[in-house]
Amino acid sequence: MNVCILMGSPRKHGNTAALLKPFMEELDACGYESEMIRLYDLEIKPCIACRNCQQDWSGFNCSFDDDGQQVAQKLLACDMIVLATPVYSWYCTPPMKALLDRMVYGLNKYYGDKKGPSLWKGKRVALITTCGYPPEKGADLLEEGIKRYCKHSQLIYKGMLAERHMGYETVFMDEGKERRAREFAARLCAALDQE
């Protein structure tokens, strides 16, 4: 099993990164291969709705020759996608939003003259997020948006790990967060193993 982690925090050693460390260690312990792609290191232009991607259903076929191309190939090749992002203004960060927009068109051939297929139908998706508000008020809209994105794209949503950041003067990680990150990974692996 191959897991593609899209890392949407600009802070390489921030809260989302800290949560991903035990999560990835646990994936490894379960025998899953994972790769983290740092979206802030890439060039991913925003979708301009040219719909060139809708002419050809054989692949992503976006007109932009940027890093969105290689990310699309990695998403098509993996078994599970993990969206890891801090909450910014009640949703994901800008490079992740740009990527989600590029993929919702490039990989869902729904928007041309005839309705075509979802090229990534059936891929599993999990969400890892950190936020300043309690998760039920900080991450609820993000989760709802990702759930609808998955339903629309025929992806299978597998759940969210959301942890609260109490402020920059506090230490983010603690035993509970580390345990829940490991448990989340183990639960995802167990669910995938059974499918």
Return the ∠ at Cα 57 (arms to 54 and 59), rounded to 5°.
105
User: What are the beta bridge partners of residue 129?
Assistant: 85, 162
Minimum CB–partner distance for residue 88 and ligand FMN (Å): 4
Q: Which residue stretch of 74-82, 85-93, 117-125, 146-154 sits at the interface with ligand FMN (rule: CB under 6 A)?
A: 85-93
Is residue 22 within the footprint of ligand FMN (CB under 6 A)? no
Give whichever of 100 and 155 is closer to ligand FMN, judged by the CB atom.
100
Beta bridge partners of 102: none
Structure-block tokens of residue 75: 């998403």
Binding string, residues 132-151; x marks residues near ligand FMN by CB under 6 A:
xx----x-------------
Burial 14-50 (b: 16+ CB within 10 A, else e): ebbbbbbebbbebbeebebebeebbbeeeebeebeee
Establish if 89 lies at the interface with ligand FMN (CB under 6 A): yes
The single residue among 40, 79, 88, 145 that binds ligand FMN, judged by CB under 6 A, is 88
For ligand FMN, the binding residues (CB under 6 A) are 9, 11, 14-16, 86-90, 130-133, 138, 165
